[in-house]
């Protein structure tokens, strides 16, 4: 199952490390990361594969929200099919 993880907020040390650590801890494979910092705002999109994950999507969403709250950023995880359907143009 492919999942899209988005992170938005003020830049600070440890954002990528925190999200990556969660992925490693639960056996979630990171396939793609794209991140940019624009005038102090951190934006990242990560595509992960949960095929062999030791966690389900709902629990992953809860954990990432907690981590995001601690970092002062918003972290969301959505099933890729839903993400693509929501952002399709036309």
pLDDT in tens, 40-68: 999 999 999 999 999 999 999 999 999 99
pTM, rounded to two decimals: 0.88
**Within its chain, how far is the Cα of 49 from the centroid?**
11
- For a pLDDT cut of 70, what percent of the chain falls above it? 91
Domains of the chain listed by start with CATH number: 2-86 (3.30.70.260)
Rounded Cα distance, 8 and 60, in Å = 17
Tell me the pLDDT of the chain averaged across its residues.
93
Residue 3 in this model has a pLDDT that exceeds 80 = yes
């Amino acid at each position: 199952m492919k999942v899209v993880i988005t992170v938005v907020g003020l830049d600070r040390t440890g954002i990528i490390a925190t999200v990556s650590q969660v992925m490693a801890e639960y056996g979630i494979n990171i396939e793609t990361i794209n991140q940019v910092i624009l005038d102090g705002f951190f934006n990242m999109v990560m595509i992960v594969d949960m095929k062999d994950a030791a966690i389900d999507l709902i629990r992953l969403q809860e954990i990432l929200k907690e981590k995001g709250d601690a970092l002062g950023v918003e972290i969301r995880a959505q099933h890729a099919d839903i993400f693509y359907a929501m952002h399709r143009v036309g």
